[in-house]
A = this chain, B = another copy of it.
Amino acid sequence: MKTIVLLFVFAIAIATSHGFDLDHGIDNNMDSPKLRSFSRNHYDYDITCSSWRLGVEANNIIRFKTIPAKCKDYIRNYLLGDQSRADIKAVLSEAYSYAKSLDIIKAGNYTWVFDIDETLLSNVEYYADRGFGTIPHNATAFNKWIEKGKLPALPHSLKLYNKLLALDIKIAIITERPETQRKITVKNLRNVGYLKYDKIIFKDTTKGIYKGKTTLVYKSVERKKLEKEGFRIIGNIGDQWSDILGTSRAVRSFKLPNPLFYVA
């Protein structure tokens, strides 16, 4: 009897060591306290703006607070020019090709997760007025802008969103925005064409369970909850690696370009 109980405790210990809590089981490459102190804006090596952008998109360059000052014009030209639109279109077309290739059944609870800022909606206008990522983040100014509820849709994201709905795929939206911005967010989404979704999840800062936790942890936990509710996450799109890495990942995830800022 004692042996069995001990074995049981041991089995639970194994289960827990691989299990899920807020700190462990997450990609250790993005949630290490060691790395949190690695934030910086200065590079002790020469880097072209093109290599810098590629480095950001491939998750090699992380934890920057502002983009390199010399890259302001480069990033402006990228974002306002054809290349950015072509890059976004390629990612979302690839996502749709993948979605189409699946055998979707209506009762299957197949679900696609979307991020909001720089994914469903665009803040490029905001950043255009503030040096295209060369000026440190200002939460007050940013929230004021969000509260206007005037963000445009990313046209290709809206297209994909509608096509996924037509394939009988459910939509879940998980955003870093706080509960206090729920009303204006839902209104903004509706005004630009995002009318239907099964879930919209805001970061509940009042309960404090995400205090000091990264977006990577927050979104992993919320995806886990969705899974427990029966949603089968077949796709996920965000503009940050922290939107799509972590645990309870989608079968396939897609990273939209974002050379403006970094969220851990």
Q: Which residues of A contact B (CB under 8 A)?
A: 1, 4-5, 7-8, 11-12, 14-15, 18-20, 25, 27-29, 32, 34-35, 38, 43-48, 50-52, 54-55, 57-62, 83, 86-87, 89-91, 93-98, 101-102, 249-255, 257
Contact = CB atoms under 8 A, between A and B. Distances in A.
Given A54-B87, A86-B50, A29 B249 contact: yes
A84 B39 CA distance: 26
Given A18-B15, A90-B47, A38 B253 contact: no
A90 to B, nearest CB: 4
A1 B7 CA distance: 13
A26 B44 CA distance: 35
B251 A35 contact: yes
B94 A61 contact: yes
Nearest to A13: B15
Contacts of A38: 98, 101
B90 A255 contact: no
Given A18-B19, A51-B89, A52-B90, 10 more contacts: A15-B18, A18-B18, A28-B249, A38-B98, A45-B97, A47-B90, A54-B257, A55-B87, A60-B94, A60-B254
